[in-house]
Amino acid sequence: MARNEQLIRQHKILQILERSRFGRTLEEIRDDLVEELGLTSLHVRSVRRDLEALQAAGIDVDSDSVQRGKVWKLGPLAKGAHKITVSATELIALSLGRDLLHPLAGTPFWQGIESFWIKIQEELPGGVWSHYEKYRQVLKVLGAPAKSYAEHHGMVKTLNRSMLEHRVVEIDYQSIGKPPTTRKIEPYAMVFYQSSLYIVAAAHEMPVGAPERMRHWKLDRFSKATALDEWFKPDETFDLETYVGSSLGIFSGTHDQDFVIRISAHGARWVLEDPWRPDQQVAQQPDGGILLTVKAAHELEIIPRVLALGSEAEVISPASCRQTIAQMIAQMASRYAADPAPLE
């Protein structure tokens, strides 16, 4: 068995014991592991070896004989070894992050945030909490999206587990404007971008090294995700930071190209105040405007930003992007040239 699978199992055992006040038998721990990790089978001998490995690592795991048999539980040193200390400033930063991650409510990630937040509340002295509440009244997060992934809880759990275990996942997926399809994917990571969760995964049917094998799959378009008893070998050359870090948005950065946009003096203030990318290039123009050069993997990353500036921005190149915007503007002009159709 791969070492990472043992570590995943041992970490889950600690979570099981943390929430069990009276301990769990080997069989109960085994059953919990099978259910929560989605395993097809697991022998109690493996569970015993995992417990012994945790003890060897210095974690206070005790065993005790009770009426229902021998149970395993965390000892007092394990329960008291990690006292939480936090300043009011750190508490404010954590609570702001919690606000920003609210779209993940109902998922395992949000449950982890909430669990940690409750632990902090229980551990903090009253003075620190009062100081936090005072300053939180003058610091507010606005613009948080109304979206929630609570209904995707089961799929998020399945996908997250499959990433850790390198399991192939069968999904029912429907892109906008296309019929639903059933696909097999090899999930690598989740990306949280502009209030949406995306799964970075390889298309299972495509050979390793094939162009466009690695793709983004928007979680909103999943209607089903099933972890199969089929495993894949991860591409050791794949680097998530490289894959998404060079992109302006969520699109893959493997085919980046330069987009050149002329921006008026008035519009330049907005772009300079809120840069599109850290590595964007700005050339000042005699009229006070700028010539902005920015890399992106897809024109759809550029077009919304250009349209948001209205007549203050004009795409110079590539010509294909310029043509796309011209067609969009023509269609919009045609629609707004006439009175709107009556509402039914």
Rounded to whole angstroms, the Cα distance separating 289 from 262 reads 8
**Could you tell me the two tokens for 6?**
């043992």
pLDDT tens digits for range 70-104: 899 887 765 544 566 676 677 788 888 888 888 78
CA dihedral over 32, 37, 43, 46, signed as positive or negative: negative
pLDDT tens digits for range 209-219: 777 788 888 99
CATH 3.30.70 for domain 257-336, yes or no, is yes
Q: Which fold has domain 3-80?
A: Arc Repressor Mutant, subunit A (1.10.10)
Give residue 48's pLDDT: 92
Cis upstream peptide for 286 (omega within 30°): no
* Domain pair 3-80 / 257-336, same fold: no
150-245 belongs to which CATH class?
mainly beta
Give residue 168's pLDDT: 95
pTM of the predicted model as reported, rounded to 2 decimal places: 0.59
Domain boundaries defined on the chain: 3-80, 88-136, 150-245, 257-336
pLDDT tens digits for range 250-294: 555 456 789 999 999 999 998 898 888 888 899 999 999 999 999
